[in-house]
Chain A
Amino acid sequence: SQELEQSPQSLIVQEGKNLTINCTSSKTLYGLYWYKQKYGEGLIFLMMLQKGGEEKSHEKITAKLDEKKQQSSLHITASQPSHAGIYLCGADRAPLTFGKGTLLTVNP
């Protein structure tokens, strides 16, 4: 079965700093989802990447898919306390597989 490994497991940054979260797959990525989760709550869809080299942005969050490396990265520019939460990557294969998540804390 496919496994997704996220790094780092947790991250603490000062407000205003940039940060990157990585998601590496054990198998070829045909599509990748990024979700955000507040502790103990449901997942909020951020972005879906389907093509190698694809890059999408939403507000201050940018995600890229590198199929050759079987990896995706999520970059947040000028982080804010509202960015705090758990970021999960999910591979679009049957069944949908998620990484364990990266816990982001943004200190004001």
Chain B
Amino acid sequence: ETGVTQSPTHLIKTRGQQVTLRCSSQSGHNTVSWYQQALGQGPQFIFQYYREEENGRGNFPPRFSGLQFPNYSSELNVNALELDDSALYLCASRLDRAETQYFGPGTRLLVL
């Protein structure tokens, strides 16, 4: 157990819809990162939040957005879903940048 939880575990949406994925970090972890993992690939960095502000972003379009809350929870929002958004979405939390990242179990999103 890493102390990081995600919800829901699975989700099915249709193209064009919007989705919100949730992550609860380890208590005290002020940095959360989100990753997208397509089948057979390694996780790809989406963005990172530090103390409720985005402070790093990967090569993902603006329709991928996020929020981080004071209670160590965070959200990943994806608008105008596309078929290629089907993937496992992972969140990872850590205390400051220098520490190890601990991953949640992921949310598997299927876009039809």
Contacts and interface: CB of A to CB of B under 8 A. Distances in A.
B41 A100 contact: yes
Q: Is the interface of A mostly helix, strand, loop or mixed?
A: strand
B42 A98 contact: yes
Interface in A61-108: 88, 90, 94-101
A100 B40 CA distance: 7
Contact of A40 (B42, B48, B56, B88): B88
Nearest to A33: B100
Interface in A5-24: none
Report the contact-size class of chain B (Cβ under 8 Å from the partner): 20 to 34
A43 B102 CA distance: 8
Interface in B95-112: 100-106, 108
Contact of A96 (B6, B101, B104): B101
Contacts of B56: 94-95
B41 A42 contact: no
Contacts of B48: 95
Given A40-B88, A42-B90, A100-B40, A95 B102 contact: no
A96 B103 contact: no
A44 B2 CA distance: 8
Nearest to A4: B42
Contacts of B104: 42
A88 B42 contact: yes
Given A43-B103, A45-B2, A95-B45, 11 more contacts: A33-B100, A40-B108, A42-B106, A43-B92, A44-B103, A45-B100, A45-B103, A95-B56, A97-B45, A98-B42, A100-B42
User: Lowest 3 CB-CB distances: which A-B pairs, in order?
Assistant: A98-B42, A95-B45, A43-B103
11 contacts: A42-B2, A42-B90, A42-B103, A42-B104, A45-B102, A48-B100, A95-B48, A96-B101, A98-B42, A99-B42, A100-B40
